Structure 1
Amino acid sequence: MEFPILLNLIFELVGGLGIFLLGMKNMSDGMQAVAGNSLRRLIGSITQNRLFATTVGVLVTCIVQSSSITTVMVVGFVNSGVMALTQGVGVIMGANIGTTITGWILVLKVGKYGLPLLGAAAFTYLFAKSDRWRYWAMFLMGIGMVFFGLEIMKDACAIIKDIPDFEAWFARFTADTYFGVLKCAMVGCIMTTLVQSSSATLGITISLATQGVISYPTAAALILGENIGTTITALLASLGATTNARRAAYFHVIFNLAGVFWITLIFAWYIKLIQSFVGVDVTKMVVVDGVETFPNTVAAIAATHSVFNVANTLLFMPFVGPIVKLLERVVPGRPFKEKPRLTDLDIRILETPLLALEQSRKEILKMGDGCLKMLDWCLELMNQDEPDQALGDRLKQRERVLDSVQDEVAEFVTGLMAANVSHSTAEEGGKQLRVADEYESISDYIVNLDKFDRKLRRDGLRFTIEQREDLGRLNRQVTEYVAAIHQALIKGDRNIEVASEPAFKRIRTEVKALRRKHLDELSVGSMPPAVSVAFMASLNAYVRVRDHANDVAETIAVDR
């Protein structure tokens, strides 16, 4: 064996694989950026209907170009309680079908155009001013890199024929017996586990098969093993997660193990079915640049992958309910509360930035709901002759909770923005940080309002009936203003700043009128200084609540 030949083989194979994987990542990032809003709507529309959940899993995986990303995302959603286990199971089955799109992309006979496509897309990416054009270019650049990387790997695999020892070693792995099928499947599983990418293993398998280093049956058996190897990613993601998240990861393993088991039992019949289904002769040889190749195996391998996952999904779908119940019995819940954080945020979702932003957005909406409840509680406490101790404690506890939620959201979004994300994603993350900070500030001023009233009561004083009525009216105006802006945040209404301006001015006019009225009362009668100070401080607190809510409106109004 000549050392230079071996070195050339390693360099080309590693280089080609690296370009192939980078291309897959660019395809994924580009599609996520282009189809971001659609992706968020897809995830938000998942219902208990397992067929619909499976369809969503297929579509999402086609967009993100990775079943591993989708399954890790599902584990994260189930872990946070945003997605039920039955929904997650449906998405996981769909992800297994969606990941087969990679094989069909490689069926396109554009391998030699991979480099020109990469070059043209790279220039567009570098010089286009529109973000949307740049992300389309990133997607096309990814496709070019995938095909260029595959061509390099194919050339590397052709070198194996010049190394007798290597060729003899590969000849030991043939799927001509049941044990041989299992052995090949195990190799595929180990390879995928090591490189953490079924797409990479698929690329290597196609390269070996098209160069005639391995036969089509051997390639098909390797593909079956890759389906098992890809489950390791979700298993790793479930470590330390909640019971339901671990159940979702275990389902992924069961789904693929059971599928591979029954397919291997009918393997010989199955590969004959695939060849007749595709309608190509996998043994047909074509000489390219003096090298014998078998191009028809690419379509056969893609079909092997797709038909297996579709058939397995159809087989499992009627039994999802019983399997979920079995998992609930086999993996019992823990006897203590499993949620260590106040939010439903999960770092597993950071792999898909747009979906991560949707998660943090939901937490911020909860903060807004909490502020509105606090305004109502504050008014109720002020009007009670004897303040409800439990309600007062709940008000203070809610403020502490919002402080912690804001910290968790800030940590999550900052971690997201630290990654290589698009300009629009970074901009949206910045807006979320600002809105979370504004809501936390609103909660601080609401608690201060209750503190002013409590301090007066401790000193044996209270606001007068008329003052309570004035503050109550102001509270209702501010609450309506905050509620209108919060609804605009939910709906994404960018006209809210203009629409809410009249209410903003009414509150300002009301506060000015109450201040004048208060000063007039001071000049004609005696009022304890503590009451006067508390009343003016309360007016100022309501003004600050309005100002912070207006800042939220400004943030919403900024063009996305």
Structure 2
Amino acid sequence: MQEILFPFLGGIGLFLTGMMLLSDGLTAFASGTFKRALGQYTGTPCRAFASGTLVTALAQSSTATTVTLIGFVSAGLIPFSQAIGVLIGASLGNTVTGWIVAGLGLKINLGFYTLPLIGLGALLKLLTRGRWAVLGMALVGFGLMFLGLNTLREGMQALSAMVSLAELLAGGFKERFMIMLFGLAMTIILQSSSTAIATTLTALHAHTINLDQAAALVVGAAIGTTFTGVLVTIGGTIYAKRTALAYILFNAITGLFAILLLPIYFSLVYYIGQYFSLQPGAISLAAFHSLFIAVGVVLFLPFTQQFAQIVERILPSSGENITERLDDSMLAIPAVALEASQRALEQVADRLLDAYDQLLQRSLSSSWEQQLIESGIVLDEIFIFVSRVHFPAGEGRWDSRRIAQLHAIDHLLRLRSRIHDLFQAEINFSEPVYGWALENSRCMLELARKGIAEKDLTAHMERIEHIASTLTNLSHQVRNDFLQTTAPGNSHAAAVLRTTDIFRWLNRTGNHIWRTCHYLSLGRNSGHFPAKVVENFQPDPDT
């Protein structure tokens, strides 16, 4: 019994550990490339499908792809309809592992030949840092994966010598469905469809199970791989839940079609095998896995828009608010989390700038004051979210972006208070004395809102800085002129002091708008900002 149980459990453990190290190492080594592929190459369903397939095949993990994708959709970086193409591609890319195991792992004793890779990878991990260290981790994972496969094969061969399951639970739909559920449960427990598929391939290769049973197990593994996405979306946004549901529906419907039409699929696999001279057995199972997913691709990919609409009807939105896209699932991908918080801050900033513009024109809506209260609540929520985003050592660029966003929140809160104070003062801005201040303020507002809408405040920062500096200098000059021309005992002294206070408020509000734009630019440009803009500006010391 020990000859069976120990190699079986040890083999699964080694293969699972190897897959995790390989996936984590490759994802970290090429993190920027993978994220750019997902974020940029999704303009059409076909491009989204291609990027999902390629990234999953290279990362050797559909989980890494789907978790990243859920974060992108939650942050609004990828539209939900385009995300469906990526999910479909991830399912097809996940079949690559089966081909590697069936084509190499079960035919050649790669566990022996990959032992040097484990040693080399361990040395790289211990003696280097950065990308070389994570590459070492990937090499260790690659070696452990095949070492585990060899160990698992030994256990399966010992099991097949004692008992054969090939004659049990074979035949009808009911039996296939039961085996499929077992494969689903195995994948959920192992948290890796690749490990479940490798175990199935090894059992088939050792003749412990037959092809019919193995096919049902693979279908169950394909459906079970969606479970991680479900876990990630618990407590998440409606967009994250829609993405997870679409992944479940695609794999479940495709898998059930495969179970129902299994004889037809086997016939196709047989003809394909004859045409390409493929050997039956594990290779046939790998071909079946790719085939039934490919059929799902053909059925779903042309109708991603309609599929997206169905999922949206199942999970309708209750009405979007600014912080709806901020959820804990994105904290696993800090760069995506910061993009989501950046967009939320830009929305709040645009609302406050619009409120200030309404105030200067004295055309406030009835819900204006309530909007100010809500803006304060939203900024508090964004502050809590951004404060929880942390990066590993050496990621100073992203940490600078996080700090810039925290500064932006600070100035947006101050801007909100200034707007509220000006509202309470009930100022008549139609008086000529405020003309120059209103002209400059409105020009600044127009530039700031344009930059936020274009997501390119940097292009307008020099003019915004110049206007803020002009407001500061003219405000000081006007306040001095007013105070110097006010004679002692003048009955209008209180009115003069009130006017100078209003100029101070306008000046400080302008400074907060400039600083808000400055830090939003830092946040949008990953913490990098033209130094000359910062050096040229001399803020009001009273701000």
The TM-score, its normalising length taken from structure 1, stands at 0.76
| Counterpart among 494, 501, 523 of residue 533 in structure 1 | 501
Instruction: Name 1:24's counterpart in structure 2.
Output: 19
In 1, are the aligned partners of 2:346 and 2:520 still within 8 Å (CA)?
no
CA distance in 1, matches of 2:509, 2:302: 58
Residue 158 in 1 paired to residue 136 in 2? no
Counting only pairs closer than 5 Å after superposition, residues 156-555 of structure 1 correspond to structure 2 as 156-161=155-160, 164=162, 167-168=163-164, 170-173=165-168, 181=176, 184-216=179-211, 218-234=213-229, 242=238, 244=242, 248-249=246-247, 251-266=249-264, 268-273=266-271, 275-277=273-275, 279-282=277-280, 297-318=281-302, 331=314, 333=316, 337=318, 342-351=323-332, 353=333, 357-384=335-362, 388-390=364-366, 392-393=368-369, 396-397=372-373, 399-407=375-383, 409-410=385-386, 413-414=388-389, 417=390, 423=393, 427=396, 429-457=398-426, 465-476=431-442, 478-479=444-445, 490=455, 500=461, 504=465, 507-508=468-469, 510-525=471-486, 526=493, 527-553=495-521
**Distance (Å, rounded) in 2 between the aligned partners of 1:310 and 1:189:** 20
Shift of 1:487: 8.1
* Contiguous gaps of at least 5 residues in structure 1: 283-296
Structure 1 stretch 17-26 or stretch 79-88: which is displaced more? 79-88
Deviation at 1:340, TM superposition (A): 8.3
Does 1:50 pair with 2:50?
Answer: no
Over aligned residues, Cα RMSD in angstroms? 4.1
Q: Is the 8 A contact 1:178 1:264 kept in 2?
A: no
Deviations 1:175-223 (A, max 9, x none): 5777765554443233223323211101212332344434555434432
* Deviating more after overlay: 70-79 vs 57-66: 70-79
Task: State the alpha-carbon separation in 2 of the partners of residues 198 and 548 from structure 1.
Answer: 47
CA distance in 1, matches of 2:320, 2:299: 34
Kindly state the Cα deviation for residue 523 of structure 1 after the two structures are TM-superposed.
Answer: 1.0
- Indicate how the Cα distance of structure 1 residues 124 and 81 shifts in structure 2: closer, same or farther if over 3 A, else same: closer
- AA of the residue aligned to 2:264: I
Instruction: Describe the shift of the 1:150–1:508 C-alpha distance in structure 2 as closer, same or farther (beyond 3 A).
Output: same
User: Structure 1 residues 348, 64: closer, same or farther in 2, change over 3 A?
Assistant: farther
Query: Aligned pair 1:128/2:128, yes or no?
Result: yes
Aligned-residue offset at 1:143: 1.9
Residue matched to 2:490: none
Partner-residue secondary structure (3-state), 1:390: coil
Structure 1 counterpart of 2:139, one-letter code = L
Residue identity over aligned pairs, in percent, reads: 22
CA distance in 2, matches of 1:551, 1:235: 36
Secondary structure of 2:323's aligned partner: coil
Q: State the SS of the aligned residue for 1:365.
A: helix
Query: For residues 179 and 399 of structure 1, what CA distance do their matches in structure 2 show?
Result: 57
1:499-556 CA-partner distances (Å, limit 9, x unpaired):
9568646633651343133112211124533332342244234334434544455564
Higher mean C-alpha displacement, 140-149 vs 342-351: 342-351
- Following superposition, the deviation at residue 315 of structure 1 comes to 3.6
1:117 equivalent in structure 2: 117
Instruction: Say if 2:383 and 2:406, in contact at 8 Å, map to a contact too.
Output: no
For 1:559 and 1:423, locate their aligned partners in 2 and report how far apart those are by CA, in whole Å.
18
Size of the aligned set, in residue pairs, is 513
Contact 2:201 2:282 in 1 (8 A): yes
Q: Which residues of structure 2 form unaligned runs of 5+? A: 487-492, 530-543
> 1-side partners of 2:199 and 2:186: how far apart?
10
Say whether 1:65 aligns with 2:60: yes
What is the alpha-carbon distance in structure 2 between the residues aligned to residue 147 and residue 274 of structure 1? 27
- TM-score normalised by structure 2 residue count: 0.78
The answer to whether the 8 A contact 2:166-2:213 is kept is no
SS where residue 213 of structure 1 aligns?
coil
Q: What are the superposed Cα offsets for residues 385-435 of structure 1, whole Å, 9 maximum, x if unpaired?
A: xx5253742651463254144135326x53xx3xxx6546x5455334323
